[in-house]
Amino acid sequence: METEKMALERTFSIIKPDAVAKNVIGAIYNRFETAGLRIVASKMIHMSKEQAEGFYAEHKERPFFGALVDFMTSGPVMVQVLEGEGAIVKNREIMGATNPADAAAGTLRADYAQSIDENAVHGSDAPESAAREIAYFFSEEEICPRTR
């Protein structure tokens, strides 16, 4: 039987304003790289209200939506595309649970998040959301797959 090989995947990641303010961008990038994820696109942005509302449109009706948009626009963020085998699930594992109180030891949220509202990182949760979120912040020309 043919050996199953996990697909090379891309996922979208945000280092949120709380983690940027803590000066741990490099520490978080180190976690991605150590886990075998490659950063194939990256930039710092300060999201507008409209940009944050559009990005989190799926949560529009949730009670925390206003607070989420306020938080995500409270300071600059790093947005990046991560590439690797099983990148979507792998990044979610590195991140840990949404609520840092539930996040496993050694995950980014256990180490760098303070609350469910200010939880350090975002990562796409499925192939469809990854594709949509990457396209929301990056043009195809801004993504640089490895050539060596």
Sites of contact with ligand RTP (CB under 6 A): 59, 64, 68, 98, 116-117, 119, 122-123, 125
**119 labelled ligand-binding:** yes
Nearest to 62 by CA among 38, 93, 98: 98
Q: Name the closest residue to ligand RTP (Cβ).
A: 98
Distance between CA atoms of residues 112 and 6, nearest Å:
29
**64 labelled ligand-binding:** yes
**73 labelled ligand-binding:** no
Distance between CA atoms of residues 41 and 38, nearest Å:
9
Minimum distance between the CB of residue 115 and ligand RTP, rounded to whole angstroms? 8
Minimum distance between the CB of residue 117 and ligand RTP, rounded to whole angstroms? 5
**49 labelled ligand-binding:** no
Q: Which residues of 85-124 are buried (b: 16+ CB within 10 A; e: fewer)?
A: eebbebbbebbbbeebeebeeebbbbbbbeeeebbbbbbb
Between 59 and 144, name the residue whose CB sits nearer to ligand RTP. 59
**59 included as an active-site residue:** no
Q: How many other CB atoms are found less than 10 A from the CB of residue 127?
A: 13
Between 31 and 141, name the residue whose CB sits nearer to ligand RTP. 31
Which residues are documented as binding site? 16, 64, 92, 98, 109, 119
What amino acid positions are annotated as catalytic residues? 122
